[in-house]
Structure 1
Amino acid sequence: MILRDWLMEASDRLNHAGVASAKLEAQLLAGHAMLVDRAWILSHPEHEVNALALEGLLQRRENGEPLAYILGYREFYGRKFRVDRNVLIPRHETEVLIEKALETENKMLRVLDLGTGSGCIAITLKLERPEWDVWATDISSGALQVARENAETLGAEITFRHSNLFDYLEYEKFDLIVSNPPYIGRDENLPVEVKEFEPETALFADNFGLEIYQKISKDIRCKLEKGGRLLLEIGHLQGKLVSNLFPGSKVHKDLDGNDRVVEWVYAEDKA
């Protein structure tokens, strides 16, 4: 079978399976299997391919496995991050959190990323601001392994800690704390590729998705320096609920106009 014909058949099957970008994903799957980039795939439509060798990848995507897990990476803020089923797949919406963090004027900051997952937030901040002292925690040892590998591959010096939120940071304080915590309520309906494949501990939280925000709100004054900033990614319907936990906070929207980040400053005159 020639590549053009395989791509047409694969696109039809993925489209039937409900994949939104079926044509693009078929091209990426072919490139992954053949160890070539998408440009090569597009410029060699007559190339002979072994359809059987490609079938396994195609079936995995048809069955709902996220493309990022099949390819083994996801692009975030212009860089490739390795991902597997130990970590949440980075979303482009999280780049709003990055942009808000990079607005910080102080050049020498101690930064903490709570629940780092793949490390995409902590690593991006370190690479964009090399002078910052960046720490990252996660409750999952599997996630920390992925994050450490990404940090090494991308050349980012991060201090990693195996910790549930602030548990093993008793004597540490930070100028900037960021987090994209689990914020989905356990009764919410999710697509199969999210619900069946991404790690539950990175997705769901009790109290209608507010549990982790509530825990952070109880300890934040002990871990944030006076004048420091807290940036939290939120679900698009959680702006008011989360901001109420942090009096005086503001809510920032993403490019789609949805509430996406809560920002709170530990004011100098607050006890």
Structure 2
Amino acid sequence: MSNRYWFYADRGQQQGPFPEAQFRDFIARGMVRADTLVWTEGMAGWQSAGEIPGFFSPAARSPSTPGRMPAMANGDGGALSIDFEILEFVGRFLLFIFGVIFVLPLPWILVSNLKWLTSRTRVPGRPDLGFTGEPMGILLYYLGGVVAIIVLHIIGGRSTNFLSFLIEIALGWAALRWFFANLSSGGQPLGLSFSGSYWMYLGWNLLGALATLTIIGWAWVYTAQTRWVYRNVDGTHREIVFKASGLEYLWRAVVCIVASAFIIPIPWVARWMMGWLASQTVLVERGAYAEA
């Protein structure tokens, strides 16, 4: 039995992914017919299930009707999604605060939280998303950065503050490279890498810092920076697109800030915001997406 995962189109909506054993059960129950469009990783486009060898008898097969991946009801056939229980989030958040306070446990807590968060993320065509990074992979960089920042703050002065900023940006850039390199699907490495340069990443962060002076401009810088990050992810057959606008991000951020002032709603607004950010990240055929 193949270990592939399958998608099928039902009334214009993409369903899946489903393991092949379950997919064959759908065929036996009549949920997937010979003329149903289906797709799995490695296929150039969607095809009728009857054209896939081994699913239907020759008499039941319909003429080939290859097509593009159908869009979901919201128009984003390749949109990511994320969901988690509120109590899970609260526990993870408190664990992160513990790591920040005591410093040394933070790499282990960050890795644990990343493994948890990726397991709650759904990516079309990539079943069982996971994170395989380990704390030792970043421990030396983390400790070196912490020590350098502490020393610079002890020395003091404006120039040392700027050097501290450069180190923090370097750690963030290295973390991006480490994160994408350790993503997996179905227990297998995805083979992704982040090729964006440190200097471009630094430039985006400097622009973001300057944009805060305008009060609202940072939202547009954030969306543009996110698009730049996705454009520089190598190793994926599909293009990763962040389609949100600066205005859409801004008003949601304002809602989160206001709601968080009351403390108790924080987990709910965090899930709402993270779910929206995931839904704005879509996987499309390369060259098929044009920004409005």
TM-score, scaled to structure 1? 0.26
Structure number with larger C-alpha Rg? 2
